[in-house]
Amino acid sequence: MRSFALLSAVVTAGSLVMAGPTPTEPQQPNKRASLPTVTASGNAFWAGKNRFYVRGIDYQPGGSSDAKDPLADPSVCKRDLAEFKKLGVNTVRVYITDNSANHDECMNAFADANIYVILDVNNPLYSINQDDPVPSYNAVYLQSVFATVDAFVNYPNTLAFFSGNEVIDADVETTKAAPYVKATTRDIRQYIASRGYRKVPVGYSAADVSQNRMQLAHYMNCGTDDERSDFFAFNDYSWCNTDFKTSGWDVKVKNFTGYGIPIFLSEWGCITNGRDFGEVQALMSPEMTGVYSGGLMYEYALEANKYGIAKIEGSKVSELPEFAKFASALSKYPAPTGDGGAVSTTNAVPCPTKDPNWLVDSTLLPAIPEKAKDYMKNGAGKGPGLSGPGSQNAGGTSTGFASPGSGSATASPSNHKNAGGATFGGPIDKTPLVLTGAVFFLTLAGTLLL
């Protein structure tokens, strides 16, 4: 978020203790028969047989200065759900959740309102460190990630999981973290399959950075099927009350044509020159629907960065003028009928080559940490929540490279009933909510693991 300071996390000695897998407590799945689950197929999302467009809003009341889970507090989520109904959104994105909490009441209330949820799996204590990714990709980190999957995967309105958010940014050195984000994406997809869960789409939310956007997009959709993302999302603040061509959106549509998997905007909503939300008309137009699957407007709650459209004071919500404008745009420009020009087949793209803006020179990914393999069979167990010791330097790291194809499911799916980045918010020129440290390279048999 544009005006927030860096959030520091102190990793205590307790974080060095390796968490072993414990049986995941069974919980009956929450069903809402009237709400179809969303799948990714071809280059689009589908709710049953109908094309699904993300027409949503980013939702993290309190921002990074007060990182709490809005889906764990019914008084909070129901307060805001009333506003989401007025807006007419069909999706919200939640950046931080507590994987040790119960979310039934909020998730069921959202499902009853036909609202889907996209969830980031990271939080400030459990995330990939963009400046020192090698030690931060470890078994303790993945236990928290998988516990978040356990907590939400069985809700029918869980639309997707983000494996990371803005880990790679305008600093070219951060591109070296890409293999660890991609490995996390692979691991989540493998965990979902191994545990017999519904195939909830998994992908990445990229920063609004032009110099590496396409390299990163291609990287996330290249390689073997197990290594590729189910979708790719990116943040885009280039519209600024202009139009399809002036903003450069026409060029981006051209660049992503034929990409092969669904794409959507994980954040949009420039506040320069005012906000009339003309982006909604563009996103729902034939010029874009054959390539894009909608997007999430940034953001709901007014914070110091001034992007929010609603001011929250305790239980009271005051709608700002932009609230009505956004609601009007959603109402005026509904989702189109039919397939919107979607492509029915999915395809991979070539991996990017190393260049001055992209420092990844290998297609190999780090192997999943040895102790994390137990989670595939036994489950992740109870999550550490938002007050655990953290994972940045917890040990149990990867010890080599994975063979392409090794991230496939390790067990035949069964009928499990286990229900049970970190940057977020705003354009890339904000201070990111990340954990920084001295850059550290792990040497393995003379090979530099990037």
pLDDT at residue 111 in the model: 98
> What total of structural domains would you count in the chain?
1
Sheet holding 44-47, edge to edge: 38-41, 44-47, 50-52
Q: Answer for the pair 55, 90: CB distance below 8 angstroms, yes or no.
A: yes
Name beta bridge partners: 116. 91
pLDDT at residue 78 in the model: 98
Range of the domain at 415: 13-449
Residue type, 244: F
pLDDT at residue 169 in the model: 97
Structural domain contains residue 99: yes
Structural domain contains residue 8: no
Structural domain contains residue 330: yes
Structural domain contains residue 421: yes
Structural domain contains residue 24: yes
Q: Which residues contact 4 (CB under 8 A, 6 or more apart)?
A: 63, 64, 65, 303, 304, 305, 425, 430, 431, 433
Task: List alpha helices for 67-138, DSSP H.
Answer: 74-87, 104-112, 133-136
| Mean pLDDT, 10 residues at a time, the chain of 450 residues | 33 34 43 82 97 98 85 98 98 98 98 98 96 98 98 98 98 98 98 98 97 98 98 98 98 98 98 96 98 98 96 97 98 98 96 97 96 97 96 94 82 37 45 36 36
Q: Answer for the pair 216, 168: CB distance below 8 angstroms, yes or no.
A: yes
DSSP state of 410: S
Angle between helices 74-87 and 321-332 (to 10 degrees): 60
Both tokens assigned to 375? 């989670």
Name beta bridge partners: 264. 233
pLDDT at residue 390 in the model: 97
pLDDT at residue 25 in the model: 42
pLDDT at residue 63 in the model: 84
Structural domain contains residue 6: no
Neighbours of 338 (CB within 10 A): 9
pLDDT at residue 66 in the model: 77
Instruction: List, by residue number, the catalytic residues.
Output: 166, 267
Structural domain contains residue 349: yes
CATH number at residue 52: 3.20.20.80
Structural domain contains residue 298: yes
Q: Which residues contact 407 (CB under 8 A, 6 or more apart)?
A: 186, 187, 189, 190, 224, 226, 227, 365, 368
Both tokens assigned to 346? 């999915």
pLDDT at residue 29 in the model: 47
Both tokens assigned to 282? 């563009």
Q: Which residues contact 214 (CB under 8 A, 6 or more apart)?
A: 255, 352
pLDDT at residue 33 in the model: 53
